[in-house]
Structure formats: structure tokens, C-alpha cells
Amino acid sequence: MRHRPEDQSLNRRTPVEQAWAKARARRWVIILLIVAAALYWLVFVNEYVVAHEGEAEHFMHGSIGSEAANGLPYWVFQALPVLYADRMGGEGYRHFGLLYAEPDDDLPIGFSRRVATGVERVWLNCSVCHVGTYRLEADGEPQLLLGAPSNNLRLQELILFLLEVGRDPGFNGERVVEAINSDAVGGNLNAFERLFYRFLVVPEVRSALLDLNEQLAFVGRQYPWGPGRVDTFNPYKSIQFGFPMGSDAIDDIALNGSSDYPSIWQQRPREGMNLHWDGNNDSVAERNLSAALGAGVTPTTVDREAIHRVADWAWDLPPPPFPAPDTIDGDLAAQGAELYARYCAECHGMAWADPTSDTLVYEYDRGRYPRLGEVETLAEIGTDRGRWASYTEEFAAAQNMLYAGYDWRFHRFRKTDGYANQPLDGIWARSPYLHNGSVPTLRDLLEPADQRPAVFWRGSDVLDLERVGYQSDADSAPAEDLFRYDTSVPGNGNQGHDGPRYGTELPAAAKEAIIEYMKLL
Ligand code: HEC
Ligand code: HEC
């Protein structure tokens, strides 16, 4: 007979029913636990990242993992130009020399996004420092050069701006939320999100920026970096390792180690060369990973696959050809090639005519050019000491402890005694010259140091096709707000790379010929 509950005289469950009820309760607990775990995972663990199909697109906007630890929430990032329109001159992030691949892109080149801890965050990737522009005419459109030094970027000003925001009492939840929901930003946060931003997100950003104020207080003591330069290692010392940066701990020379952004094309032939300006590391993989730390990833947030993708792309990336080939005088360039082979190739390598095409092909053969990828001592090369001094023995030791326990732990960083001889491929797109960008054009570099410009202007991307480099005197450069570069300031010296070995005593005609040839590198 089938058991029917309503037949029961006592309102009591049968043992079978009790077992079912228990099982149901247990099932509920399990479901709740799963929901809680899913929520926890969604909010605190899950990272959602936008994939970019093309390699160039990935380079410009792909995430390398810097957002989780250092990123600004997307909507806060978008609200700052509204809140600080005066401070940013009404031009938004362009004020700091940031570039947009398309005029209405929502993020500048070099910024990527990732959802981390429940909030979409944006922060830096490799391209913020490794994309330049040039123009042939002052009124022409800037042309992007992927992999070239970011000649426009004023990173120090951007950093100082963010530090100021952190200190500004007006940077509070209420005002930020209002700016996010303004028409200009169009954030459309709902009631719940408004509370979340007002009481959690904005206070978190503020406290992170206040911490950064302590770590980067020394940046305010440094001489201006200007466009196209960054202090590579001092911020890294302070942020990653907590090195003391007070005036009693570091002298004025080591404090002012700003250097130009380098090009990152053709990494394959650079494997095994001692590179970075001072030649402190001979492994491309370590230089890439260390660069990622500079962009704000941490050993726990680093997205190694995304970095590999950039690295693979840069491995064989060709340098951009000189953009005005018709202006090159072939005979003069041929004379220049002979002089260059005699004076310069030993240290820098050189390019030869490729019989199968009308271009030259750079030869990086270290058997043939024995000094290529080696370090010249400070006494020999004689250029400014700042960048060299900013990289210390102690710091190298600390770097070699990073990623301890992982296969990719650093072990090739070392303190050197000078600056590195690097290939000069695509050198027309790498001005100003020397590690600190203290010499505006190739032609100036071939003059003895005391005849190079003592003061010049940085920040123009208009090419000087004759002297080769961006225009640098206030008259010929467009009258935008250029940066006055003073070579007498610590870190800015334009001395060195001078004397018979460096071609500075050759007759003017020989110098012209060398420059003509170098346009083809
Ligand atoms: C904040 C700016 C910045 C970011 C972001 C950045 N770099 Fe760099 N990179 C530099 C500077 C500056 C140097 C030169 C360092 C020095 O020697 O002082 C450099 C050097 C390099 C070099 C060595 C070049 C040479 O020939 O010496 C490589 C390769 C490189 N970066 C790749 C990358 C990659 C890959 C990324 C992203 C994971 C990246 N960089 C992110 C500024 C940056
Ligand atoms: C003994 C080796 C040596 C010789 C010879 C030499 N250079 Fe250099 N060159 C260097 C070193 C080292 C640097 C980097 C110095 C620095 O940045 O402080 C450099 C830097 C440069 C740069 C700047 C690169 C950049 O990215 O800013 C150019 C351009 C250059 N050399 C051209 C020449 C030319 C042209 C000649 C021949 C007339 C020449 N060099 C001869 C060692 C050499």
C-alpha cells in the first residue's frame, strides 16, 4: 500500500520524510555555499580581460597585468579630466603627451583594462613608453611609430598630477561620483554602484594615491624629466623595495638618472647583448619582465602570456624606414657608409645593401663588430654619469631576488662600469640622442661636446630632415608648449662620445656624408 501523509494520525514526519528534509537542508547549504563562493570568486578573484586580435592592437591596449595592483578604476580615470579640466588644460590626457590611436578611442595608447576585485581598472602597458610620432611638416598629421621611443610622453607630469589628486580634499566620493555620472563622462552608475563608488572605490583610490605620495615624494625633488624621458630605476627602488630616497640617502647625481625611452624593435639580434643604457642585463626575456615591473605589474599579478605576445612581436619588428627617401643623396650616403664602417661600426654594427632589394639590411654580427653589445667604461665614453649612478650594486642584488622561487627569477642583472654600445637601427626615429636625450640631432652628436646646443627644446615631433632629429630650436619648432632642456642641470649633461674615435674631428663634409648614410639605418 502506498503511504499517504494525510493518513497520519500524528502530525509527525515519517523517518523517510525526515531523511528527505535533512537532505533538502543539506542541499540548500551546499547551494548557498556555491553561490557565496561564486560571488567571492566573481568579486575578489575573477579577472576579466579584453583580448585583442591584432598584434599591434594587443601592444597598444592589451593588458599585461598592471591593473590589479596599481590600476585606477575605469570610471575614476575617465572622471579626472572633468574634475581637473583646468589643471589638464582642457585637453584631457593629451596634456601629458598621451596619444590616441583613433580620435574617439576611450583610452590613450599604453592604457589597458582588466576587471579585478569587482571593478574594471585601467593602467599602463608597454606601449605607453614605446610609441613615438613624427611629422614632416608642422601642420601635418602626426604618424605613429610603434616600438619607437615615446617622444611626446610627459610621464613625470602625469605622476605628479596623480599624486596631487590623492592629496586634494576635493577628490572625494561625492564629487567623483557626480563627475562619473555627468554627461561628459556618461558613467550612468545606478544607485547601488553610486554607493559602492562613493564609500568603497574612491576612498580606496585615495588611500592608494596617498601611499604613492610617500613612496614617490623624491620625484618632486628631481629636475624635470621633460617629454620622452623617465627615471627608470629610482621609482622602482622605492616602490618595489622600499629603498630610502631622502636627501641623506641618495646624492644629487644618482637622484637625477632620467633617460630617454629606447626603441624596442629587432629584439632577436639583441639577445646576448648587454643592453639597457648601461648594459646591466644581457637577456631579452629579463629586460621585458623587468620593464613590466616598471609598468606596474607585480610578481603576483604579472600576465606572462600577454608579455610574451608583445615580446614575440618585438622580436623581429622591423625599424621604420626613413620617411623621406627621395631626399637622400645616394652617392653621399655611399661615401658615408665607408666612413661609418671605419669609425662607428666596431661599436654599433652597420647596415649593408641588400642585393635583392633597394633597402639596406642591418648586420648585428658580434663576431664582425666585436664591441657591439659591450659596455664602454665611463672614462672612455665620457657621457653624463646620472643614469649610470642611479643603478647601484645594492639595487642589482635586490632585483636578482625578485621572482624568487619561480623559474623566471632574475639572475642576470649586474652593475656595470659605463654605457652600452647598441645597434643604431632606425636611429632617425630615436632622437634626441645619447641615453639622457641631451643631443637633439645626429648632426649635433658629430660636433665636439662644447659645440653642441647647451639649451634646446624637446617635445616637437616635426622632423629635421637635414640634421636628423626632431626640431629643437624654439624658432623652427611649432610654438606649442615645448620643454626647455638645459644641459647644465644634473643628469642632463651633453658631454662625451667626443674625440677622433667618435668622428667629432672629421671635416664637415665627412660628417654630412655619415649623416646621409645613417638615414638608411
Ligand atoms: C614607464 C615606461 C616604460 C614602460 C611601461 C615599458 N618600458 Fe621598456 N624601457 C623603458 C626605458 C626607460 C628603458 C631603458 C631603461 C634604461 O636602461 O634606463 C626601457 C628598455 C626596454 C628594453 C631594452 C631596450 C634596449 O635596447 O636597451 C626592452 C626590450 C623593453 N624596454 C621592452 C619593454 C616591454 C616588453 C614592456 C612591457 C612589458 C616595456 N618595455 C614597458 C621604459 C618603459
Ligand atoms: C667605442 C665605441 C663607440 C664608437 C667608436 C662610436 N660610438 Fe656611438 N655610442 C657609443 C656608446 C657607448 C653610446 C651610448 C652613450 C650614452 O648614451 O651615454 C653611443 C651612442 C651613440 C648614439 C646615440 C644612440 C641613441 O639611441 O641615442 C649615436 C647616434 C651614435 N652613438 C653614433 C655614432 C657614430 C655616428 C659613430 C661614428 C662616427 C659612433 N657612434 C662611434 C659607443 C661608440
Residue 103 to residue 124: CA distance in whole angstroms: 19
Section 117-129 average pLDDT:
92
Say how far residue 70 (Cα) sits from the centre of its chain. Answer: 14
232 within 8 A of 254, measured Cβ to Cβ: no
Q: How many CA atoms within 13 Å lie on the side-chain side of 496?
A: 22
* Atom of ligand 1 lying closest to residue 128 CA: 5
- The set of cell numbers assigned to 107 is 583610452
pLDDT for position 480: 66
pLDDT in tens, 475-512: 766 666 899 999 999 999 999 999 999 999 999 999 99
Q: Which ligand is nearest to the CA of 154?
A: 1
128 within ligand 1 shell (Cβ under 6 A):
yes
Q: Is the pLDDT of residue 72 over 90?
A: yes
Q: Is the pLDDT of residue 256 over 60?
A: yes
Give the mean pLDDT of the chain.
91
Residue 338 to residue 334: CA distance in whole angstroms: 7
Residue 205 to residue 157: CA distance in whole angstroms: 19
Share of the chain above pLDDT 90, in %: 76
Section 246-273 average pLDDT:
94
Q: Measuring CA to CA, which residue among 492, 469, 477, 368 is closest to residue 423?
A: 368
316 within 8 A of 494, measured Cβ to Cβ: no
Residue 480 to residue 152: CA distance in whole angstroms: 12
pLDDT for position 42: 65
Residue 193 to residue 170: CA distance in whole angstroms: 20
pLDDT for position 1: 46
- The set of cell numbers assigned to 366 is 658580434
212 within ligand 1 shell (Cβ under 6 A):
no
pLDDT for position 108: 97
375 within ligand 1 shell (Cβ under 6 A):
no
Q: Which ligand is nearest to the CA of 369?
A: 2
What radius of gyration do the chain's Cα atoms show? 28
347 within ligand 1 shell (Cβ under 6 A):
no
Q: What end-to-end distance do the CA atoms of the chain give, in Å?
A: 97
- The set of cell numbers assigned to 479 is 610654438
Binned at pLDDT 50, 70 and 90, residue 133 comes out as very high
Q: Measuring CA to CA, which residue among 63, 381, 398 is closest to residue 233?
A: 398
Q: Is the pLDDT of residue 515 over 80?
A: yes
Residue 326 to residue 442: CA distance in whole angstroms: 19
Phi, psi (5° rounding) for residue 15?
-55, -35
Cβ atoms within 10 Å, residue 231: 24
Q: Is the pLDDT of residue 7 over 60?
A: no
Looking up cell 640622442 gives: 433
* Atom of ligand 1 lying closest to residue 280 CA: 17
Q: What angle is formed at CA 481 by the lines to CA 479 and CA 487, rounded to 5 degrees?
A: 105
Q: Measuring CA to CA, which residue among 260, 214, 239, 288 is closest to residue 70?
A: 239
Residue 319 to residue 262: CA distance in whole angstroms: 12
Q: Is the pLDDT of residue 44 over 70?
A: no
Q: What is the dihedral of CA 339, 341, 342, 346, to 10 degrees?
A: 140
Cα-to-centroid distance, 252 and ligand 1 (Å): 24
Residue 241 to residue 220: CA distance in whole angstroms: 19
52 within 8 A of 58, measured Cβ to Cβ: yes
Q: Measuring CA to CA, which residue among 435, 428, 480, 475 is closest to residue 456?
A: 475
218 within ligand 1 shell (Cβ under 6 A):
no
346 within 8 A of 373, measured Cβ to Cβ: no
- The set of cell numbers assigned to 138 is 608642422
- The set of cell numbers assigned to 476 is 623652427
Looking up cell 616602490 gives: 239
Residue 199 to residue 281: CA distance in whole angstroms: 45
What are the Cα distances from residue 437, in Å, to 247, 257, 258, 482?
A: 25, 12, 9, 15
To test the ligand 2 pocket, which listed residue (338, 347, 514) has its Cβ within 8 A of the most ligand atoms? 347
Share of the chain above pLDDT 70, in %: 95
* Atom of ligand 1 lying closest to residue 267 CA: 29
pLDDT for position 4: 55
Please name the residue whose Cα sits nearest to atom 19 of ligand 2.
Answer: 421
Looking up cell 664591441 gives: 371
Q: Is the pLDDT of residue 264 over 80?
A: yes
Q: Is the pLDDT of residue 210 over 70?
A: yes
Please name the residue whose Cα sits nearest to atom 17 of ligand 1.
Answer: 276
Section 135-144 average pLDDT:
92
pLDDT for position 231: 95
> How many residues appear in the chain?
521
Residue 319 to residue 455: CA distance in whole angstroms: 29
Residue 396 to residue 388: CA distance in whole angstroms: 12
Q: Which ligand is nearest to the CA of 337?
A: 2
Q: Is the pLDDT of residue 76 over 70?
A: yes
440 within 8 A of 472, measured Cβ to Cβ: yes
Residue 322 to residue 272: CA distance in whole angstroms: 28
Binned at pLDDT 50, 70 and 90, residue 302 comes out as confident
- The set of cell numbers assigned to 159 is 605622476
Residue 58 to residue 428: CA distance in whole angstroms: 26
